[in-house]
Amino acid sequence: MRADASWVPTGDEASLYLRPFMFATEAFVGVRATRRAMFAVIASPTGSYFPNGIAPIDVWLSTDHARASAGGTGAAKTGGNYAASLLPQAQAIAHGCDQVVFLDDVEHAFVEESGAMNLFFVYDDGSLVTPASDSILAGITADSLEVLAAELGHDVIRRPISIDEWRDGVRSGRITEVFACGTAAVVTPIGALRWAEGDDVAEIVAPDPADAPVTLALRRALVDIQYGRAPDRHRWMHEIVRGQSRQ
């Protein structure tokens, strides 16, 4: 941060995105954990994820690929999890979607997560449900949103949620909002869920983001803390560099 402080951008919701990573550097061919690795950090200036205002994303339901398996590395931040999502992500784009949503690898019935984000479902009683699974990557943004949602008076439940509950809930109005969350986009409303039905494509469409008060309130609460517009009562923020010039 001291080396890159001058590259921190100014502007609404701009940031210096820090991405730590590690890779093996040992001169060895075989199957075992490496004994030598390099740790590095990418510091990348980024602008607002939604420069033209918050817009919903459409997601593609992958029914023939799994992001991770039970007992595997799904809950770890490892490159293999991203590799498994590349083909389904390409299929999502081919169907006009921005992201892919995965199901569990055993019953192919329960929602896991999107290609790079955790998922939340807002119900008509004000409660929030986020999928529970041992193969879902634990997200710090999701954890923070659970805390803020509870402070705003919402019950937050972690439990398995089936894809049928998602589809039926939106159709009936029981599920009023759906959003994804992650480091880059923070909170992203989900507009349409699409999937293949034989040779056809079916979809359900969630309400417009303008009619998603819980999603927008949670996003605003978290972003305001991140950018110093609201008090940080949880001591999530840590000052690293002070008094550096910016360009």
pLDDT band (50, 70, 90) for residue 245: very low
- Whole-number pLDDT of residue 242: 75
Q: What is the pLDDT of residue 211?
A: 78
pLDDT of residue 163: 96
Q: How high does pLDDT run on average in the chain?
A: 90
- Residue 207 has what pLDDT? 67
pLDDT band at 55 (very low <50, low <70, confident <90, very high): confident
Least trusted range by pLDDT, from 60-74, 129-143, 181-195, 202-216: 202-216
pLDDT the model gives residue 210: 67
pLDDT given for residue 119 in this prediction:
96
pLDDT tens digits along 120-167: 999 999 999 999 988 888 899 999 999 999 999 999 999 999 999 999
- What gap in Å lies between CA 187 and CA 55, rounded to an integer? 11
**pLDDT tens-place string over residues 17-36:** 999 999 999 999 999 999 99
Nearest to residue 190, comparing CAs of 106, 99, 104?
Answer: 99
Structural domains present in the chain? 5-46 (no CATH), 57-226 (3.20.10.10)
Per-residue pLDDT tens over the stretch 81-115: 888 889 999 999 999 999 999 999 999 999 999 87
Strands 37-46 and 15-24: what pairing?
antiparallel
Residue 244, pLDDT > 60, answer no
For residues 129 and 120, the answer to whether their CB atoms sit within 8 Å is: yes
Reported as a single tens digit per residue, the pLDDT across 2-13 is 888 888 888 888
> Which residues on adjacent β-strands are paired with residue 166?
none
Q: Is pLDDT of 79 > 80? A: yes
- Residue 224: in which H helix or E strand, if any? helix 213-226
pLDDT band at 44 (very low <50, low <70, confident <90, very high): very high
Q: Which long-range contacts (CB under 8 A, 24 or more apart) does 207-216 make?
A: 207/176, 207/177, 208/56, 209/54, 209/55, 209/56, 212/122, 212/176, 212/177, 212/179, 214/122, 214/126, 214/128, 214/149, 214/154, 214/176, 214/177, 215/122, 215/177, 215/179, 215/187, 215/189, 216/54
Neighbours of 175 (CB within 10 A): 22
